[in-house]
Amino acid sequence: MFTKILIANRGEIACRVAATARRLGIRTVAVYSDADADAAHVAACDEAVHIGAPAARDSYLRSERILAAAQRTGAQAIHPGYGFLSENEHFAQACADAGVVFIGPPARAIAAMGSKSAAKALMGAAGVPLVPGYHGDDNSPALLAREAQRIGYPVLIKASAGGGGKGMRRVDRADDFADALAACQREAKASFGDEHVLVERYVTRPRHIEIQVFADAHGNAVYLFERDCSVQRRHQKVLEEAPAPGLSAARRAEMGAAAVAAAKAVGYVGAGTVEFIAEPTADGDLRFFFMEMNTRLQVEHPVTEAITGLDLVEWQLRVAAGEPLPLQQAQLKIGGHAIEARICAENPDAGFLPATGALRTLRWPAHVAFGRNADAQAFHDPAPVRVDAGVREGDAITPHYDSMIAKLIVWGSDRAQALARLDAALRDTHIVGPHTNVAFLRRAVATRAFTGADLDTALIERERAALFDAPPLPIELAAAGVVAHTLAAEAPLQGADPWSRRDGFRLHGGAARHFHLQRGSGDEHAVVLERLHDGALRLRVGDGSWPLQMRALPHGRHDLQLGERRVPVTVYAHGEQVSVFAPEGRADLREVDDIAHAGEGAVDGGQLTAPMPGKLIAYLAQPGDRVARGQALAVIEAMKMEHTIHAPRDGVVAECLYTAGDPVAEGSELLRLESAAAG
């Protein structure tokens, strides 16, 4: 076994690998950019090496710097995590040439599966079912358009060297093909350095089911069952679970055998994932097609660990060190059900736009480390809740890297128990700072389709009414939380004599205290807390009035009795901003200073601004152009994805304020739009 490894990644996967290495007594070396000097993964390792500027191309993708860091620190092996260099055959070969073990498959296997087109040709020759499509080398737009017409719409354009939804578009009409192809090729070039794409028939009710495979250098290969990753937005996974609901034992064995055959066909060694698209058949079974093979550990590997009781990173280390697989196929068993939710800094109600900013509050549900089986010979129940995070409270989500904050994994003896535990865990996850998808995830888990295991990649669109624009937390409950927190914060300042009290004490009659609360950018509410003659409290919000009782608990928690309801809430205050978390949701409010508020002015709504930090890719309209409301005007790239800016109204473009390639800050004015009459 190795005595020291370098982890060529960042965030939660670097922390995850470091945890297993520490348990095995292996020392670890972190790498970091200018943006990551104080990051959690740096603290999680025994030593760290600086490798460059914040942009990934200037640091985490600089293979020569990472290899030099491994050699300089005496690391015997490099674990690439996922993303960055994990599927780069040139880096794997450079490691081999330098005598440093690459903890992953050999370069030839990465190369064989790195191109979706080549991989599909290989699988077709091996008899694995393929989705009808075009996987050739000729990528001229005219040929691809003809092939799309031959296949039949809708079609899916996919980056041949890609993954994670980058360089991928569904196209429903021939008229839209050229624009979608150009966008895919731009994204593919930016993300993977290769603009080659393939075109396939779009399966209309697809399930995304993937098989975890493992192989060693001694000719052994096994599959560690499947994961269902059908719940996706923008072709990126949101919820993953194992085993896949409704998959028969016979189909599981068939898909597992196909995945193992795929691994053996390329001389695979290490952890890999063979991904399939499955669609229902008339008899209620599933027909499956090979999609791609990811030659690395997957983000969703914890659900496989949870149902098998195994540590897949330990398996990676042992196989890379030349050991045989710890178990054979007959020894592998499924125990219980596990679900993973990806918690990301993004705004679901704004098209899942990535968000940035400091994590001012970061509170996880009660959890313990995953209960791994030390001897890898039998299944042991894992902890019911696991959190894999690469950030800490106070850290910032920046535009330089992926928007994922953490992974929340739950395990249950069956799917129903896992669902209940996931809802409770999401309820107890409190994040204040950038927008997150926590509330969205909780609604997704509660949808009829997900609870009923009616899964396919269009689930989010099918359940749109239940997932977006959810009703806010009742204002009276949010106001009661603000009042309770304010009084609890003031309590230590109040002495025993009446002259030092701040609650409106008076010799005769009751007292009233006023709060001015604002929710979001509007919705202002006048709140009054009345102290009656007998000392009882009453809360008034607008025309409503409720008796109120409060009891402060540790860590910002409060036990409220509001009218007939008894509700536990947790409140976090950062200056004037107050966040109230209740079992049914959260509210973010501002305690308005009326004097300062009186001077605020309105913002001109005619300007177009960047919704997040990023880079301007292109303007789609030029000064002097007349544009219609909803017309695409500009494209920016942020968080590895392209985002299109649309006109909020009819008008004439007066001025473009940047040039292609320029960085833009969140809120930056991109162009000016005048009324059509002015033009």
Q: Which residues are catalytic?
A: 296
Residue 3 dihedral angles phi and psi, to the nearest 5°: -105, -20
Separation of alpha carbons 422 and 367, rounded Å: 12
C-alpha–C-alpha distance, residues 628 and 554, integer Å: 55
Give the Cα separation of 645 and 637 in Å (integer): 11
Provide the 10 A C-beta neighbour count for residue 573.
18
Residues contacting 600, CB < 8 A, separation 6+: none
Quickly count helices (H) and strands (E) in the chain. Answer: 18, 39
Is residue 519 a contact partner of residue 473, using CB atoms and an 8 Å limit?
A: no
Residue with tokens 């990051």, as numbered in its chain: 39
Tokens of 659: 């040039």
Burial class (CB in 10 A: 0-12, 13-18, 19+), 380: exposed
Listed residue (291, 264, 254, 256) closest to 276, CA to CA: 291
The C-alpha atoms of residue 461 and residue 449 are separated, in whole angstroms, by 11
H or E element in which residue 483 lies: helix 475-490
In the block, tokens 């152009």 appear at 625
Tell me whether the omega of the peptide bond preceding residue 243 falls within 30 degrees of 0, making it cis: yes
Helix (H) or strand (E) holding 7: strand 4-7
Partners of 620 in the β-ladder: none
217 DSSP assignment: T
d(CA 589, CA 527): 12
Peptide bond into 154 cis (omega under 30): yes
Instruction: Give one DSSP letter per residue of 235-277, joined into a string.
Output: TEEEEEEESPTT--HHHHHHHHHHHHHHHHHTT--EEEEEEEE
Q: What is the residue whose two structure tokens read 């799309």?
A: 148
Gap between the Cα atoms of 453 and 441, Å rounded: 15
* Placement of tokens 């007594």 in the chain: 25
